[in-house]
């Protein structure tokens, strides 16, 4: 039984269409708003969609454009009172497969649906993937035969976690290396998919040289979300600290100054990272500047304005506890100052090669985060004078009370820039 999605805000019309198509032995789903229609359409689980142009909340034509841009393949019949040839051209250019104007005969709608279903009986030949000898890489992402594999040459797997996998790929026409991040095929939870989409939306809003750039986002034909990102070649700050130990004071300061710059741009867009830690700071070696910072992984990002769905259940902790502000452990709302606490913990570790707390169990660690003040970095490094400006910056960023912390990333950056300039002048004399 073919599944048909009908999206229209006219209850009388949808009742007629539903009754007629059900009589014709179709399985019908009705959505009466644009948002409800989009939520159904993006599932890619219908054989045909009938989509009204003029919906009260989101225009059907905008839904269609977004659906096609994200790789949606369901045939769509535009259902509208727009009868001019120019409007029809717009509809077809946006990806409509057919176009029917109101008022219409139910029998005509039925014939057009049958015609689209017949055209889908013979499955199209699978698209040939780019590159040779990369079948094993494509198999890791279930990508063989997809438009994505025909658009990018997948070269290697460069990272994999509990939920996602990251590929190194090449854009053939631009001869440009990119990173493509996807959810694993085994991940089906709605919260994981929503979090992935949120990461793509958050990162796409930030245009800053210290934050990794997202070029594209979409769904494969198998309903797997993906995002195409800037490929960042380098090592994480965590790997650098493990390899070298405590970083030179100027290097640690310069790195955190760049983190603050990227954060102040994110915060200006109303985006809180919520999972800042050394693993999510990548250091690039550039000819014009060593240790160029890129902030990555906005997978748990919270948008202060706009979509405020809670993707983390009350009492659950997302992110790494060592770098998490105390209020986060008490399920308080995250804001810019929560990220600043994390930056303070990152700076402490960059200066000392040790975490702010070294408790043996999770329970005692959580108690320390909530109740203990971390010792200043001068306790673990002779180069840092007790009560120095560096001590002050770290301790202010790590205050338990958010009101006593730096209130913006810019405030913290300015203090660090003064310290960096003093250190640089001392080294030069």
Q: What CATH number is associated with residue 150?
A: 3.30.200.20
**Which residues are catalytically annotated?**
275
Does residue 330 form part of some domain? yes
Q: What CATH number is associated with residue 105?
A: 3.40.50.2300
Does residue 12 form part of some domain? yes
Q: Are residues 328 and 291 in the same domain?
A: yes
Does residue 127 form part of some domain? no
Q: Please count the structural domains in the chain.
A: 3
Q: Are residues 52 and 183 in the same domain?
A: no
CB atoms within 10 A of CB 39: 11
Does residue 126 form part of some domain? no
Q: Are residues 10 and 74 in the same domain?
A: yes
pLDDT tens digits, residue range 290-301?
899 999 876 544
Residue closest to 325 by CA, chosen among 316, 334, 313: 334
The H-assigned helical ranges of 284-429 are: 326-329, 336-352, 362-371, 389-397, 409-428
Asked if residue 284 lies in contact with residue 233, where contact means CB atoms within 8 angstroms, the answer is yes
Task: Please tell me the predicted confidence (pLDDT) of residue 168.
Answer: 94
Distances (CA, A) of 21 to 33, 36, 102, 212, 241: 20, 20, 17, 48, 64
Residue closest to 417 by CA, chosen among 284, 236, 260: 260
Does residue 17 form part of some domain? yes
Lowest mean pLDDT: which of 16-20, 79-83, 117-121? 117-121
Q: Are residues 162 and 243 in the same domain?
A: no
CA gyration radius, the chain: 26
Task: Please tell me the predicted confidence (pLDDT) of residue 121.
Answer: 62
Q: Which residue has the tokens 């405020």?
A: 308
Q: Are residues 317 and 421 in the same domain?
A: yes
Q: Are residues 192 and 333 in the same domain?
A: no
Q: Are residues 258 and 224 in the same domain?
A: no
pLDDT tens digits, residue range 140-195?
888 888 888 888 999 999 888 777 889 999 998 888 999 999 887 777 667 777 77
Q: What CATH number is associated with residue 396?
A: 1.10.510.10
Q: Are residues 114 and 172 in the same domain?
A: no
Task: Collapse the DSSP code of 259 into the 3-class scheme (helix H, G, I; strand E, B; otherwise coil) and give the result.
Answer: helix
**Sheet with 292-295: strands ordered across:** 235-236, 281-284, 292-295
Q: Are residues 378 and 292 in the same domain?
A: yes
Q: Are residues 153 and 268 in the same domain?
A: no
Task: Please tell me the predicted confidence (pLDDT) of residue 346.
Answer: 97
* DSSP 8-state secondary structure symbol assigned to residue 286: -
Q: Are residues 18 and 53 in the same domain?
A: yes
Does residue 161 form part of some domain? yes
Residue 213: give the domain boundaries: 135-230
Rounded CA separation 378/384 (Å): 5
Does residue 128 form part of some domain? no
| pTM, 2 dp | 0.65
Give one DSSP letter per residue of 113-153, joined into a string: HHHHHHHHHSPPPPBPPSSSS-HHHHHHTT-TBSHHHHHSE
Does residue 395 form part of some domain? yes
Report the pLDDT averaged over residues 246-265.
96
pLDDT above 60: residue 123 = no
Q: Are residues 325 and 421 in the same domain?
A: yes
**Could you give the angle at the alpha carbon of 220 between the alpha carbons of 94 and 9, nearest 5°?**
45
């Amino acid at each position: 039984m073919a599944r048909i999605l009908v999206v229209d805000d006219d209850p009388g019309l949808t009742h007629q269409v539903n009754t007629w198509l059900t009589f014709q032995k179709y399985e019908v789903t009705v959505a009466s708003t644009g948002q409800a229609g989009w939520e159904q359409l993006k599932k890619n689980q219908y054989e045909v969609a009938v989509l009204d142009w003029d919906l009260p909340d989101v225009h059907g034509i905008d839904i269609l454009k977004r659906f096609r841009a994200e790789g949606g393949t369901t045939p769509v019949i535009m259902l509208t009172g727009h009868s001019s040839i120019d409007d029809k051209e717009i509809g077809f250019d946006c990806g409509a497969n057919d176009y029917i104007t109101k008022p219409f005969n139910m029998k005509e709608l039925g014939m057009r649906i049958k015609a689209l279903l017949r055209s889908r009986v013979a499955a199209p030949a699978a698209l040939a993937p780019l590159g040779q000898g990369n079948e094993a890489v494509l198999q890791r992402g279930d990508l063989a035969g997809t438009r994505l594999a025909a658009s990018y040459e997948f070269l290697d797997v460069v990272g994999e976690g509990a939920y996602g996998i990251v590929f190194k790929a090449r854009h053939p026409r631009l001869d440009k290396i990119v990173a493509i991040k996807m959810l694993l095929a085994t991940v089906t939870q709605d919260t994981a998919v929503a979090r992935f989409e949120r990461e793509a939306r958050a990162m796409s809003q930030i245009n800053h040289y210290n934050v990794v750039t997202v070029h594209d986002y979409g769904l494969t034909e198998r309903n797997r979300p993906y995002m195409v990102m800037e490929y960042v070649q380098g090592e994480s700050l965590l790997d650098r600290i493990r390899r070298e130990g405590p970083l030179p004071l100027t290097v640690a300061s310069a790195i955190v100054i760049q983190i603050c710059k990227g954060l102040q741009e994110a915060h200006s867009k109303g985006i809180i990272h919520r999972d800042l830690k050394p693993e999510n700071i990548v250091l690039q070696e550039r000819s014009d500047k060593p240790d160029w910072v890129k902030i990555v992984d906005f997978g748990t990002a919270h948008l202060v304005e706009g979509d405020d769905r809670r993707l983390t259940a009350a009492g659950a902790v997302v992110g790494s506890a060592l770098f998490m502000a105390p209020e986060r452990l008490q399920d308080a709302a995250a804001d810019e100052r929560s990220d600043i606490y994390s930056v303070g913990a990152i700076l402490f570790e960059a200066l000392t090669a040790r975490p702010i707390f070294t408790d043996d169990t999770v329970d005692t660690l959580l108690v320390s985060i909530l109740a203990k003040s971390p010792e200043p970095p001068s306790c673990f490094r002779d180069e840092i004078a007790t009560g120095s400006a560096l001590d002050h910056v770290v301790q202010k960023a790590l205050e338990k009370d958010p009101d006593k912390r730096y209130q913006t990333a810019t405030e913290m950056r300015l203090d660090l820039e003064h310290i960096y300039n003093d250190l640089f002048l001392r080294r030069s004399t």
